[in-house]
């Protein structure tokens, strides 16, 4: 996920005010695994943990950010020093940081060139940090919780979207179980992806 689509998008972003409606103020969400909240990344506090997660081979297979701390720092800094269209966050379950999320304006991202984006489409990237949280429904639960947070706090957003690598079948399955629909396969510069969409109109049905 990269920065933006050029001058027109940047102008639209400035006119839009707070692009992601102060993610840091979003209230915790109750889940069956505990209370979950998004905490925007603070590099001075979080880089060692994020770097350890990025060097997990299962994570690196799709994020491709393994290496020294500077690799993760550059990835996070690009978002923190941007215009606010992407917010990197720790996912904290009860009091334990256990996942990493990127909440981003998909309609202002290069991914919008690959599908018919709508204004205020909001995207999600996710990785689960610990192996004990994988394969037991935690990812599905958190994806549903975060999608609900987006829809609750972003009234102009009609769809939450994601674009996991088509080869990442556990991720695609988690999105499906979290109420997303498999909309299409799309070609992005670094992968062939499954376009997953959760529609506001169907949020209480799926």
Structure confidence by residue, pLDDT tens digits, 105-146: 999 999 999 999 999 999 999 999 988 888 889 999 999 999
| Residue of 8 and 108 predicted with greater confidence | 108
Residue 4: is its pLDDT beyond 70? no
Residue 107: per-residue pLDDT: 96
Q: What mean pLDDT comes out for the span 20-46?
A: 94
pLDDT > 70 fraction of the chain, expressed in percent and rounded: 91
Residue 18: per-residue pLDDT: 63
Backbone φ and ψ of 126, nearest 5°: -140, 140
Residue 12: is its pLDDT beyond 50? no
Q: What mean pLDDT comes out for the span 15-28?
A: 78
Residue found by looking up tokens 């169907």 in the block: 202
Residue 132: per-residue pLDDT: 82
Structure confidence by residue, pLDDT tens digits, 169-184: 999 999 999 999 999 9
Structure confidence by residue, pLDDT tens digits, 62-71: 999 999 999 9
Burial 27-39 (b: 16+ CB within 10 A, else e): eebeeebeebbbb
Mean pLDDT for the chain? 90
Nearest to 190 by CA among 2, 48, 18, 35: 2
Residue 169: per-residue pLDDT: 95
Count of CB atoms situated within 10 Å of the CB of 149: 20
């Amino acid at each position: 996920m990269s920065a933006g689509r050029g001058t027109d998008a940047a102008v639209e972003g400035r006119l839009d005010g707070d692009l992601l409606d102060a993610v840091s103020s979003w209230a915790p969400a109750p889940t069956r695994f505990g209370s979950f909240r998004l905490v925007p990344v603070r590099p001075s506090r979080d880089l060692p943990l994020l770097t350890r997660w990025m060097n997990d081979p299962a994570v690196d297979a799709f994020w491709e950010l393994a290496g020294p701390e500077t690799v993760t720092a550059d990835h996070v800094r690009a978002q923190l020093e941007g215009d606010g269209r992407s917010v990197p966050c720790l996912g904290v379950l009860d009091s334990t940081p256990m996942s990493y999320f990127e909440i981003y304006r998909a309609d202002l991202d290069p991914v919008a060139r690959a599908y018919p984006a709508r204004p205020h489409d909001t995207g999600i990237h996710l990785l689960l940090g610990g192996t004990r949280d994988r394969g037991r429904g935690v990812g599905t639960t958190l994806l549903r919780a975060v999608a609900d947070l987006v829809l609750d706090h972003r009234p102009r957003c009609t769809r939450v979207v994601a674009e996991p690598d088509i080869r990442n079948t556990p991720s695609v399955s988690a999105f499906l179980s979290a109420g997303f629909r498999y909309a299409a396969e799309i070609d992005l510069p670094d992968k062939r992806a499954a376009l997953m969409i959760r529609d506001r109109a169907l949020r209480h049905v799926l």
